[in-house]
Amino acid sequence: MSRSPVASQLDSIQESHCASDYLTVPAIIYPAPMRPPAIPPAPTSGLAPQQVTELIAARDRAAKIRRAGGVAKFDAWMIAIFAALTGVTGLFSIPSLLLAAGMGFVAWREFRGVEALRRLDRSAPKSLAINQLCLAAILIAYALWQVIQTATSSGEYTAMAGGDPQLTQMLGPIDDLVKTLTLSVYGLIILIAIFVQGGTALYYFTRQRYLREYLEQTPSWVVDLQRSGISI
């Protein structure tokens, strides 16, 4: 059954009224987030091939200087350790405490010499050499004092005899043996101080020439780089 035109028109009007009952909400458009402008990468300035060659050559020339710095650093730690041990074991002995204080002072100067050599200070090798001679003098003075004390003492075991001839005769050889061993030990310390510390001082004295030649032959920009704390 076909509908009349009037009915169709009424239906369309009713549908339009029903659709108008619903409110339309406009869509909210959010702005795009702002992005900071891109920062171009900073230009990097590399070393020229000639500078690389100069760095390699400087490293080769500085080998003996680096070795001297390693020797001085090891020596400084050894002196500091022995100074601490001497101080701990000789708390009630004034000569031992004086020896520990002297060795501690030498160790402090040795560490300073290591730092000066790292900065390529021309006076560093000479300072390290003199420091070794000071250590030798301290060791020799201490050893001589102990030798004199041992040689002039009557002996601990003989004193324990209390004047008894029989005990003195029995303990006398022990005292002689102890005295001989003591004199031998301190005599060995004197020899070590002369040859080891003296040889080390001579070694540092000879490093002066290598340091001088290095500073004369190495470009100033490489030297400044090393003195600023950058190792090559």
Q: Which residue has the tokens 């560490």?
A: 111
Quote the pLDDT of residue 28: 58
What does the buried/exposed string (b/e) look like for 29-59 if buried means 16 or more CB atoms within 10 Å of the residue's CB?
Answer: eeeeeeeeeeeeeeeeeeeeeeeeebbeebe
Quote the pLDDT of residue 23: 46
pLDDT tens, position by position, 148-184: 988 887 766 566 655 556 666 666 667 778 788 999 9
Q: Which of 80, 73, 81 is nearest to 114 (CA)?
A: 73
Integer angstrom CA distances of residue 22 from 10, 15, 90, 214: 20, 12, 103, 93
Phi, psi for 227 (deg, rounded to 5):
-70, -20
pTM (global) more than 0.75:
no
Quote the pLDDT of residue 20: 47
Mean pLDDT by 10 residues, the chain (232 residues): 50 51 51 60 67 89 94 97 95 93 98 96 97 98 93 68 62 74 94 97 97 94 89 76
Quote the pLDDT of residue 176: 76
Quote the pLDDT of residue 231: 80
Quote the pLDDT of residue 35: 65
Query: d(Cα 197, Cα 192) in Å, to the nearest integer?
Result: 7
Quote the pLDDT of residue 85: 97
Number of Cα atoms under 13 Å in the Cβ half of residue 172? 8
